[in-house]
Amino acid sequence: MPNTDAIPQEVKARVKSLRQAIEKYRYDYHVLDRETITPAALDSLKNELVKLEHAYPALVTSDSPTQRIGGKPLPEFVKVIHKVAQWSFNDAFTEEDIREFDARVKRFLLSRLNLDSKPSYVCELKIDGLKIILEYEKGMFVRAATRGDGKVGEDVTGNVKTIEAVPLRLSRDIDIIVEGEVWLPKSRLTTLNREQKKAGLPPFANPRNVAAGSIRQLDPKISASRKLEVFIYDIAGGSERKPDTQIDELETLRDLGFKVNPHFKQCVNTEAIITYWEEWQKRAHKEDYLIDGVVVKVNEQNFQEVLGYTGKAPRFGIAFKFPAEQVTTVVEDIVLQVGRTGVVTPVANLKPVSVAGSTVSRATLHNEDEIKRLDVRIGDTVILQKAGDVIPDIVSVVKELRLKKSKPYIFPTYVSACGGDGRIERIEGQAAWRCINKNSFAQLERKFYHFVGKHALDIEGLGPKIIDLLLEHKLISSFDDIFTLKRGDLLQLPRFAELSVDNLLAAIAKSEIVALPRFLVSLSIPQVGEETAEDVAAHFKTLEAIHAASFERLEAINGVGPIVARSICDWFSDKENSRLVDRLLKHVRIQKTVAPTSGIFSGKTFVLTGTLSSLSRDQAKARIKALGGEISESVSKKTSYVVAGGNPGSKIEKAASLGVPVLSEEAFLKLL
């Protein structure tokens, strides 16, 4: 037995906890078809375990989840001993992982063939469904089995026969074993969930779960009603010699009558693989099946045979996963951040982790109530989620990995960044806390960041670092001070040359003409964001009318409730705020508000979700408003369309449940 005495105790404990959690979630997912954690989050836990075992090889055991392939067969089905062992691919998550895979392949071929081999590769889409093994004798379909644990699967022949894409007789009378993926079309899931709703039943979670559950039905009629699809991608064995290349193998499968995904591509090097991977991250959402990555295989069959297999995976292939929208990480601390309105927001400092293509080390916890709902604690392992261009969010805690000494987080009553005595108070009727002192430096700093920001005055080149410099040198203390800055003031600052000073002064001058909604946003009125500012400006037309508006008139505006109305009234009735506005109007001219142009979108409300590739979300909103449409952040029965870009969030499911039409980016652009 390997000696583990020198390994830190906390590492041993973490490995043990990870194995227990992974085994639980793997059993739920692969054996019971119950998704208690997303595949992406489970991959993240597995990846952490793989790294720890790689760093401490003495901890590797034969029963570790990293050494196992699948789940156990369900007892209700007849067991099938596979004639060809079933493998699963190792995972790659980054460009560097793929380059290292290529280097490993070439090193291994050099060691075995004693020559400098230059293999090519084939990229195939990794379909997120259920792996299936089909067996034919003399061209006739005889058996279908699930992968199971790699050695023993489940006989699901009757259910697979109901899939129209599976040929019952091949074009040639050969013996062959092939492998593929059963999947449910995303459009079919929408229809099934509509039927579930009518029947008063809960909706299905995702296409993968429906595909797995349908194949494991004891009644083939249920499987047939689901209208499943299949892609075949590999010849595992048979009476004929395998084709010379992976490309030829896919063509052979197609010639025999199997449905093969058409988007495979031969790549001569790793840069071509990465380009294909990046391209399909953008295109994946347009297909009617779930795609969670790219499978990369050595193209040449003779090289595949030389490379062979490790204990659990082929050396000639790897699964190049798309950036995960859900990952796991550890909460290292919870800190309180003071915003421009004095509201105190709890923020989780995280062990850095890559999610949806970017490294994240912080995530907002929103407020005290959210911390209590999640029961998130310092030291917890959490599931972090990011959909499209949405800010990462902590969605749940993996409580199986919680430290024994962890304690619930207690919201403090003192925050030093609030200044003065640092006391904070909970806002009546809300979940938020705020500084009692409303003039702290932290608030002033953030108010300035917001005032010059993209959605307010949008002063190009006046970013946080320059704002900090101006505050530090006491050149500004109020918003209107920005418009009184002179060349001599700026030239005395470090790293400021004449050209950069002239550019900044020109940008400030350009911002002196501003639309009313942007001016309202810039003032940091609590509860007033872009949409509210648009609604209020469109209703009152002038700043003077807003200043004089009563609570009742404000509350009557569509989209403005009592909390927002009270906040606007209170802000404008404060004498210091009124004096600030007067000072600003000496430098800033507010453009007359023009009612939205009537057009094809008049009376229609749009909700945007996911990432649009051809225009930014702000540009899309502007185009909709220019044609008379309205924007909403949430889907309701009043929503006319949901526009879905790449990596859309849960708004798609909400739209499907309410029968709201969903437009792809292409359809939206045509409508424009």
Kindly report the average pLDDT of the chain as a whole number: 88
Q: Are residues 211 and 231 in the same domain?
A: yes
Q: What is the mean predicted confidence (pLDDT) over 393-407?
A: 92
**pLDDT confidence of residue 31:** 56
Q: Is residue 285 part of a domain?
A: yes
**pLDDT confidence of residue 169:** 87
Q: Is residue 599 part of a domain?
A: no
Q: Is residue 593 part of a domain?
A: no
Q: Are residues 267 and 132 in the same domain?
A: yes
CATH number, domain of 290, equals 3.30.470.30
Q: Are residues 568 and 459 in the same domain?
A: yes
More confident position, 32 or 499:
499
**pLDDT confidence of residue 1:** 56
Q: Are residues 367 and 258 in the same domain?
A: no
Chain centre to alpha carbon of residue 222: 33
Q: Are residues 403 and 317 in the same domain?
A: no
Q: Print the domain residue range for 51.
A: 9-68
Positions marked catalytic: 126
Per-residue pLDDT tens digits for 555-585: 888 768 888 899 999 999 999 999 999 999 9
Task: Quickly list DSSP for 219-271.
Answer: SHHHHHHH--EEEEEEEEEESSPPPSBHHHHHHHHHHHT----TT-EEESSHH
Per-residue pLDDT tens digits for 236-263: 999 999 999 999 999 999 999 999 999 9
More confident position, 591 or 462:
462
Q: Is residue 598 part of a domain?
A: no
Is residue 346 within 8 Å of 368, Cβ to Cβ?
yes
Q: Is 418 annotated as a binding residue?
A: yes
CB 342: neighbour CB atoms within 10 A? 25
Per-residue pLDDT tens digits for 2-29: 777 889 999 999 999 999 998 888 777 7
Instruction: Count the helices and strands in the chain (H runs, E runs).
Output: 24, 24
Of 296, 321, 346, the domain-final residue: 321
Q: Are residues 129 and 256 in the same domain?
A: yes
**pLDDT confidence of residue 329:** 95
Q: Is 297 annotated as a binding residue?
A: yes
> Whole-angstrom Cα distance, residue 306 to residue 310?
12
Of 523, 553, 586, the domain-final residue: 586
Q: Is residue 591 part of a domain?
A: no
Q: Are residues 92 and 60 in the same domain?
A: no
Residue 190 is encoded by which pair of tokens? 């929408």
The CA distances from residue 524 to 343, 456, 528, 538, 623, in Å, are 12, 10, 7, 19, 26
Q: Is 147 annotated as a binding residue?
A: yes
**pLDDT confidence of residue 72:** 57
Q: Is 124 annotated as a binding residue?
A: yes
Q: What is the mean predicted confidence (pLDDT) over 41-55?
A: 91
**pLDDT confidence of residue 378:** 95
Residue 596 confidence (pLDDT) above 70: no
Q: Is residue 2 part of a domain?
A: no
Is residue 145 within 8 Å of 133, Cβ to Cβ?
yes
Is residue 571 within 8 Å of 539, Cβ to Cβ?
no
Is residue 50 within 8 Å of 66, Cβ to Cβ?
yes
Q: Are residues 316 and 373 in the same domain?
A: no
Total domains in the chain come to 5
Residue 655 confidence (pLDDT) above 60: yes
CATH number, domain of 464, equals 1.10.150.20
**pLDDT confidence of residue 269:** 94
**pLDDT confidence of residue 69:** 58
Q: Is 141 annotated as a binding residue?
A: no
Of 321, 349, 383, the domain-final residue: 321
Residue 334 confidence (pLDDT) above 80: yes
Q: Are residues 342 and 236 in the same domain?
A: no
**pLDDT confidence of residue 457:** 92
Q: What is the mean predicted confidence (pLDDT) over 460-489?
A: 90
Q: Are residues 245 and 342 in the same domain?
A: no
Q: Is 100 annotated as a binding residue?
A: no
Sign of CA dihedral 34, 36, 41, 43: negative
> Do the bridges between strand 343-355 and strand 91-92 make them parallel or antiparallel, or are there none, so unpaired?
unpaired
Per-residue pLDDT tens digits for 211-244: 888 888 878 888 888 889 999 999 999 999 999 9
**pTM of the predicted structure, to 2 decimals:** 0.62
Q: Is 321 annotated as a binding residue?
A: yes
Q: Are residues 264 and 212 in the same domain?
A: yes
Which amino acid, one-letter code, is at 372? K
SS3 327: strand
Residue 75 confidence (pLDDT) above 80: no
Residue 595 confidence (pLDDT) above 70: no
Tell me which residue of 624, 577, 629 sits closest to 603, measured CA to CA.
629
| Residue-wise burial string across 127-139, b where 16 or more C-beta atoms lie within 10 A, e elsewhere | bbbbbbbbbbeeb
Per-residue pLDDT tens digits for 294-325: 999 999 999 999 999 987 789 999 999 988 77
**pLDDT confidence of residue 382:** 95
Q: Residue 523 — very low, low, confident or very high, per pLDDT cuts 50/70/90?
A: very high
> Whole-angstrom Cα distance, residue 480 to residue 505?
14
Q: What is the mean predicted confidence (pLDDT) over 55-64?
A: 86
Is residue 120 within 8 Å of 189, Cβ to Cβ?
no
CATH number, domain of 642, equals 3.40.50.10190
Task: Quickly list DSSP for 375-413.
Answer: T--TT-EEEEE--TTSPPEEEEE-GGG--TT--PPPPPS
Residue 272 confidence (pLDDT) above 90: yes
Q: Is residue 547 part of a domain?
A: yes
CATH number, domain of 29, equals 1.10.287.610
CATH number, domain of 349, equals 2.40.50.140
Q: 241: which residues sit within 8 A by CB, 6+ positions away?
A: none
Q: Are residues 352 and 375 in the same domain?
A: yes
Q: Is residue 250 part of a domain?
A: yes
Q: What is the mean predicted confidence (pLDDT) over 257-278?
A: 95
Q: Residue 659 — very low, low, confident or very high, per pLDDT cuts 50/70/90?
A: confident
